[in-house]
DNA sequence: CGGATGCTTGATGTATCTCAAGACGTGTGG
DNA sequence: CCACACGTCTTGAGATACATCAAGCATCCG
């Protein structure tokens, strides 16, 4: 038995299981997705560029990636985080071009999934289509919550909210142990995701530590007081649409 | 023949026509959506509240509405605009609860569409499902663009970008004449959508007028220099995924 | 050893918020 | 008909949160 939490379709299976009960037949059907070769990419390299028309959907297996958009003068906004188990661009079945770029934040491994593989999965277990669409809707819900964060929450609240979100999402795919999880990205990435300057983000992090909300060192985050962190963030988990706590 | 641009499924038909060629049979199929009674709501009233589980999808016929999220202390972020022809919450076929509220910005009229009506449309013209999903993906793309705006664009750039977006979207449903269109919302709404204080939004508007970019009075906007406005906004229309210009 | 990457700190400027008030138009009830 | 409340837009003054610029330090790696 391989390491389940970081390989193959296991994270995806866990994730979809948060939306509806799945059984072993579902897992077997999903394993069709991992027949192809696995792709790799190094940190700081792009997986896709805005304007491209990819023909395959990418399923992230390990590492972190992010969708981002940038402006002609270099400013850049990270508009989400892709964690293991996430699809990077499910919508290419509908749209012709992607309207954002996708970058590898760490070393990543992913499958490139052909349309017919998807079809095979859906044909075998039709209710999985619903789970996949569900995930897509959750992704959209997360974007709305980020808009609320960047538009209205203070930097401290914003960062607190992001950490709680990441905690729940990583927990859903089995990548959190207790209140600890790997946070393999730089402060610069956090700044770009939160619409803050690097300097100010750094100071906000220090404030969180001073307040006894988190510990962060060596790319590992520990939430020291989840209740208070949620309170500071005004966190309401409804937008993640997990059926079961 | 009734006023086509502001009634029934005409705006929706025009909108979907931006994504793929549609014919009269498609229009006929879509007209199933307007069999039900039309609903109304006054300005400043909610159409739906976060946490509700509506059973019908709402199709906006006239007026403006918006999805928004608020925080316990009253801060509020408008996360989009619903224009005539837009569906307010297509995702309720998948998710159980909505994670945001929907408010009427002006007097609005809309249909409440039952699942079986949708089924009837899709059964008759299967490719319309693709058009509907397309629109849902565009909605998600708009949210990403807004994240870029609020996170990185300056207030002036942000507002310029919003006006260009509204121009294209209203034009798509036949509600722009030349470079003019109704902007039936208050400065406070614009502020809440852009993550700005009312005072600062007001001053930014004045700057846009001083710069000769727009004219705005009596709830009507005229773009005086579209090219320069797009340049200021660093506007790239790709995220709207219109197939034809 | 030198260069790249990431984290931290200090100093300074300014963009933006907050508070406060006034003007204008509109509808409403006395 | 007037008085008044309300919503909206506008302007001024003052405070501050945040960005920017600049530098130093640590770690890693070829």
Question: Which domains are present in chain A?
Answer: 2-134 (2.60.120.10), 154-240 (1.10.10.10)
Please tell me the distance in Å from A3's CA to the nearest CA on chain B: 32
**In angstroms, how far is D11 C1' from A84 CA?**
53
Nucleotide in closest CA–C1' contact with A200: D18
Residue B217, pLDDT score: 95
Q: Give the DSSP letter of residue B37.
A: P
Indicate whether A1 pLDDT > 50.
no
Q: Give residue-wise pLDDT tens across range B5-45.
A: 446 899 999 999 999 999 999 999 999 999 989 999 999 99
> Between vectors from CA A64 to CA B236 and to CA A107, what angle results, nearest 5°?
105
Is the minimum CB–CB distance between A99 and chain B shorter than 8 Å? yes
User: Phi and psi for B143 in degrees, rounded to 5?
Assistant: -60, -40
Assign B3 a pLDDT band (cuts: 50, 70, 90): very low
Indicate whether A93 pLDDT > 90.
no
In whole angstroms, give the CA distance from residue B49 to residue A211: 34
Residue A92, pLDDT score: 86
**Arithmetic mean of pLDDT, A73-101:** 95
For residue B74, is it left (φ>0), alpha (ψ between -120 and 50) or beta? left
**Arithmetic mean of pLDDT, B180-186:** 98
User: Phi and psi for A38 in degrees, rounded to 5?
Assistant: -95, 140
Is the minimum CB–CB distance between B231 and chain A shorter than 8 Å? no
Residue B8, pLDDT score: 87
Indicate whether A6 pLDDT > 50.
no
Q: Give the DSSP letter of residue B36.
A: S
Nearest CB to A77: which of B76, B148, B195?
B148
The more confident residue out of B131 and A93 is: B131
b/e map B42-78, b = 16+ CB within 10 Å = ebeeebbebeeebebbbbbbbbbbbbbbbbeeebbbb
Indicate whether A5 pLDDT > 80.
no
DSSP string, A147-172: HHHHHHS-HHHHHHHHHHHHHHHHHH
Indicate whether B196 pLDDT > 70.
yes
* Beta carbons of A45 and A101 less than 8 angstroms apart: no
Percent of chain A scored above 90 by pLDDT?
92
Mean of the per-residue pLDDT values of chain A: 94
Q: Give residue-wise pLDDT tens across range B56-104.
A: 999 999 999 999 999 999 999 999 999 999 999 898 889 999 999 999 9
**Arithmetic mean of pLDDT, B214-228:** 97
Strand order in the sheet with A38-41: A38-41, A108-113, A57-62
The more confident residue out of A8 and A2 is: A8
- Integer-rounded Cα radius of gyration of chain A: 18
Residue A130, pLDDT score: 95
Indicate whether A34 pLDDT > 70.
yes
Q: Give residue-wise pLDDT tens across range A111-125.
A: 999 999 999 999 999
Residue of B nearest to A130 (CA): B94
Window 130-149 of A, Cβ < 8 Å to B: 130, 133-134, 137-141, 143-148
Please tell me the distance in Å from B86's CA to the nearest CA on chain A: 16
Q: Is the dihedral angle over the CA atoms A102, A107, A113, A114 positive or is it negative?
A: positive
**Arithmetic mean of pLDDT, A196-218:** 97
Residue of B nearest to A92 (CA): B137
Is the minimum CB–CB distance between A238 and chain B shorter than 8 Å? yes
Indicate whether A2 pLDDT > 50.
no
Indicate whether A3 pLDDT > 70.
no
* Integer CA distances (angstroms), A145 to A235, B126, B137, B144, in order: 10, 33, 17, 12
**In angstroms, how far is D18 C1' from A12 CA?**
39
Residue of B nearest to A145 (CA): B69
Assign A244 a pLDDT band (cuts: 50, 70, 90): low
Residue A30, pLDDT score: 96
User: Phi and psi for B215 in degrees, rounded to 5?
Assistant: -125, 135
Q: Give residue-wise pLDDT tens across range A126-184.
A: 999 999 999 999 999 999 999 999 999 999 999 999 999 999 999 999 999 999 999 99
Pairing between β-strand A38-41 and β-strand A76-78 as defined by DSSP bridges: unpaired
**Arithmetic mean of pLDDT, A21-43:** 95
Indicate whether B4 pLDDT > 60.
no
Indicate whether B230 pLDDT > 70.
yes
């Amino acid at each position: 038995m391989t390491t389940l939490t970081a390989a193959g379709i296991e994270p995806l299976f866990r994730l979809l299981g948060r939306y509806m009960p799945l059984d072993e037949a579902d897992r077997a059907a999903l394993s069709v997705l991992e027949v192809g070769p696995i792709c790799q990419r190094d940190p700081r390299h792009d997986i896709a560029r805005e304007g491209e028309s990819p023909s395959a959907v990418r399923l992230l297996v390990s590492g972190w990636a992010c969708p981002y958009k940038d402006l002609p003068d270099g400013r850049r906004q990270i508009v989400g985080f892709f964690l293991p188990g996430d699809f990077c661009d499910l919508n290419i079945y509908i749209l012709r071009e992607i309207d954002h770029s996708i970058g590898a934040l760490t070393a990543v491994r992913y499958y490139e999934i052909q349309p017919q593989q998807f079809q095979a999965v859906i044909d075998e277990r039709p209710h999985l289509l619903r789970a996949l669409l569900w995930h897509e809707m959750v992704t959209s819900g997360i974007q709305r919550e980020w808009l609320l964060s960047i538009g209205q929450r203070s930097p401290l609240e914003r960062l607190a909210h992001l950490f709680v979100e990441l905690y729940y999402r990583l927990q859903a795919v089995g990548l959190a142990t207790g209140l600890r999880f790997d946070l393999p990205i730089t402060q610069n990435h956090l700044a770009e995701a939160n619409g803050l300057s690097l300097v100010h983000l750094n100071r906000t992090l220090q404030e969180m530590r001073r307040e006894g909300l988190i510990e962060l060192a060596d790319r590992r985050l520990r939430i020291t007081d989840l209740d208070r962190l949620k309170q500071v963030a005004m966190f309401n988990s409804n937008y993640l649409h997990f059926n079961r706590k």
